[in-house]
Amino acid sequence: MRARSVPGSDIIEERSGALPVGEARRSSCVREGMKGGHRGHDTKSPDPLVSSHPVGGWNGRGSVSPDTQNGIGTYRRKGKRAMKLKDQIAVVTGGSRGIGYAVVRAFLKEGAEVVLCASRSETAERAVSQLKAELPEARVWGIWPSLEDPEQVRTAFDRIGAEHGRIDILVNNAGVSESTPFGAYTGALFDRVMDLNVKGMFHCARGAVPWMERQGRGVILNTSSMVSFYGQPAGVAYPVSKFAVNGFTLSLARELAPKGIRVNAVAPGIIETDMLRAVPREVLAPLEAQIPLGRVGQPGEVAEAFVFLASEQASYITGVVLRVDGLARA
């Protein structure tokens, strides 16, 4: 995981990171250009929108091999079957790596067209290229607006809606995690975590909901965490932000249910992402021992929970925070 340092803290940005590279072909929406960069992004990038990329859709035949890099695991599907998200337009923030990347990949395999949101142009393009190499028939494209900037988010969602005619699914996955002791905490650090983890989610929902209201249906899924139930011994802003995600999910679910919009959250436990792979084995082993299933989770296992909640199989489920944690408890 690519880390971005904040003075006096140990902060890791979950929404960024690199994947095997390739070239991303640009569409007309890119050539038109979205003006202006934003802090923390590649200001040399011509536009926070990358092209629509027909990128690999799985056709329901054959088998899927293990993907150890992304932790998807092995599963086989024989014969044809109905795709759970066929032709749905989905936006996934923090989609260039980890759980977000696994969600994008799983959505594509279920027939969705996915707009992948990353923090920088290069990470968006790399993720799109990686997906194109693996899944040549699916449809995915990348954007990189600053989620902390409401105007950039509004512009991005308006363009997505205008180009596709609708927005069916929003996955708010982008976030930052850090472990600064409370005595060293600053207001700036607290604001930084809350600006992305909470305000970024709020801005994206504000961008997507008007399109969902017009069509009379939609799904919003937010990434919470097991620490939203138990807290954690350092990095106080992160569990605070995930408590806020849960409250936002339940409140918005109540408000939007009469409009045909379902709102749920997924709370992962200890998942084998790049950040976890960097943890020494002697530190990780005791954590695994506390999990009744006896192992850490894989991003693909979490992604399947997002697929279920986004699909019609969950048509009567809203206002739920679904734990995917192997019964891990603090």
Where do the domains of the chain lie?
11-63+77-324
Rounded-to-integer distance, Cα 178 and Cα 182, Å: 11
Beta-ladder partners of 223? 266
Note if 316 is an active site residue: no
Of 101, 185, 230, 238, which one is the catalytic site residue? 238
Sign of CA dihedral 197, 200, 206, 212: negative
Per-residue pLDDT of the chain (330 residues; tens, 9 = 90+): 333 333 333 344 444 333 332 333 333 333 233 333 333 333 344 444 443 333 333 333 333 334 433 444 434 445 667 899 999 999 999 999 999 999 999 999 999 999 999 999 999 999 999 999 999 999 999 999 999 999 999 999 999 999 999 999 999 999 999 889 999 999 999 999 999 999 999 999 999 999 999 999 999 999 999 999 999 889 999 999 999 999 999 999 999 999 999 999 999 999 999 878 867 788 788 888 889 999 999 999 999 999 999 999 999 999 999 999 999 986
Strand (E) or helix (H) holding 233: none
Confidence at residue 8, expressed as pLDDT on a 0 to 100 scale: 39
pTM: 0.78
Q: State which amino acid sits at residue 49.
A: L
pLDDT at site 305: 98
Cα distances (angstroms) measured from residue 297 to each of 33, 102, 133, 209: 40, 13, 26, 31
Please state the CATH superfamily assignment of the domain spanning residues 11-63+77-324 in this structure. NAD(P)-binding Rossmann-like Domain (3.40.50.720)
Whether 317 and 309 have beta carbons less than 8 Å apart is answered as yes
CB 85 within 8 A of CB 169: yes
Tokens linked to 147: 């989620």
